[in-house]
């Protein structure tokens, strides 16, 4: 009988690729996520509600629809995909970079929401008071805003690890290139005798997701305590 945790080279490749894709999805979306959260938390302008709805749209749209839209825009024949390929040599379709893009889009709302909630919870007078008491801007950022940003990064990373619909629609399921843990599980479930391997990858996915959620919780709690001045 094959041991439960005897991972095959293909399974290990899928795990490593998932971590790689999730990391770059989180990192690439971070600057835009911080900017969007700041605008939504502090901005006062016409169209704010529309921007807020657009940011959160991937949460309510079917992931397959998101993947199809990415394919239309960033595919080899899409306007953005053709421009990036011809001008900068950047190709997303059927590449791991496309998987990272799809995961970034799907995890983006969670990142923005977490950062925005952290910013909304902070009284602007608290930041001003901290400044008058001699606290430097980096210290204010590190103790009040940073925990929410870190929590948003972790949640986006966890969401990227679990992304399936948008990824398989946009970049297919190519072993060693775009096959992440969810798409590998899907493939294994279609194969005779693939149940044990699918279970292994499922347990890995659950373990990583639980670790991410457990890591994010104290950061959110710390941000809330700081906002209350505790």
**What DSSP string describes 128-174?**
HHHHHTT--HHHHIIIIIHHHHHHHHHHHHHHHHT--HHHHHHH---
Instruction: Look at 57-61, 131-135, 217-221 and tell me which has the smallest mean pLDDT.
Output: 131-135
Higher pLDDT, 38 or 120: 38
pLDDT at 130 over 60: no
> pTM for this structure?
0.85
| Coil/strand/helix, residue 44 | coil
Tell me the residue length of the chain: 230
Angle between helices 146-161 and 195-227 (to 10 degrees): 170
Residue environment code for 70-86, b if the CB has 16+ CB neighbours within 10 A, otherwise e: bbeebbeebeebeebbe
Looking at the 3D structure of the chain, how many domains does it have?
1
Q: Which domain holds residue 158?
A: 9-227
pLDDT tens, position by position, 186-227: 999 988 888 888 999 999 999 988 888 888 777 766 655 655
pLDDT tens, position by position, 90-105: 889 889 999 999 999 9
Specify if 174 maps to a domain: yes
Angle between helices 63-74 and 96-120 (to 10 degrees): 120
Higher pLDDT, 123 or 112: 112
Specify if 218 maps to a domain: yes
Specify if 1 maps to a domain: no
What lies within 8 Å, CB to CB, of 69 at 6+ separation is none
What lies within 8 Å, CB to CB, of 154 at 6+ separation is 212, 215, 216, 219
Specify if 104 maps to a domain: yes
pLDDT at 133 over 90: no
Q: Give the CATH number for residue 193.
A: 1.10.3720.10
Specify if 135 maps to a domain: yes
The answer to whether 118 and 145 are in contact (CB under 8 A) is: yes
Mean pLDDT of the region 6-24: 91
- The percentage of the chain sitting over the pLDDT mark of 90, rounded to a whole number, equals 48
- CA-only gyration radius of the chain, Å: 20
The answer to whether 209 and 182 are in contact (CB under 8 A) is: no
Identify the DSSP state of 76. T
* Measured distance CA(91)–CA(89) in Å, rounded: 6
* Measured distance CA(110)–CA(113) in Å, rounded: 5
Angle between helices 195-227 and 181-189 (to 10 degrees): 150
Specify if 23 maps to a domain: yes
Specify if 142 maps to a domain: yes
Specify if 4 maps to a domain: no
> Would you state the pLDDT for residue 1?
46
């Amino acid at each position: 009988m094959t041991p439960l945790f005897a991972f095959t080279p293909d399974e290990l490749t899928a795990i490593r690729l998932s971590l790689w894709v999730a990391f770059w999805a989180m990192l690439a979306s971070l600057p835009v996520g911080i900017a969007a959260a700041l605008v939504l938390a502090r901005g006062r302008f016409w169209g704010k509600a529309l921007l807020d709805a657009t940011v959160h749209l991937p949460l309510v749209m079917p992931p397959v629809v998101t993947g199809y839209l990415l394919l239309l825009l960033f595919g080899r024949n899409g306007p953005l995909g053709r421009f990036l390929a011809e001008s900068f040599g950047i190709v997303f379709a059927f590449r791991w970079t496309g998987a990272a893009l799809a995961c970034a889009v799907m995890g983006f709302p969670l990142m923005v929401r977490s950062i925005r909630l952290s910013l909304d919870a902070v009284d602007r007078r608290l930041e001003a008071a901290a400044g008058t008491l001699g606290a430097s801007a980096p210290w204010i950022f590190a103790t009040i805003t940073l925990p929410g940003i870190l929590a948003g990064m972790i949640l986006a990373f966890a969401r990227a690890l679990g992304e399936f619909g948008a990824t398989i629609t946009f970049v297919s399921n190519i072993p060693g290139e775009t096959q992440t843990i969810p798409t590998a599980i899907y493939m294994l479930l279609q194969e005779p005798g693939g149940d044990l391997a699918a279970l292994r990858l499922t347990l890995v996915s659950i373990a990583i997701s639980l670790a991410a959620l457990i890591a994010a919780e104290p950061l959110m709690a710390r941000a809330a305590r700081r906002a209350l001045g505790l």
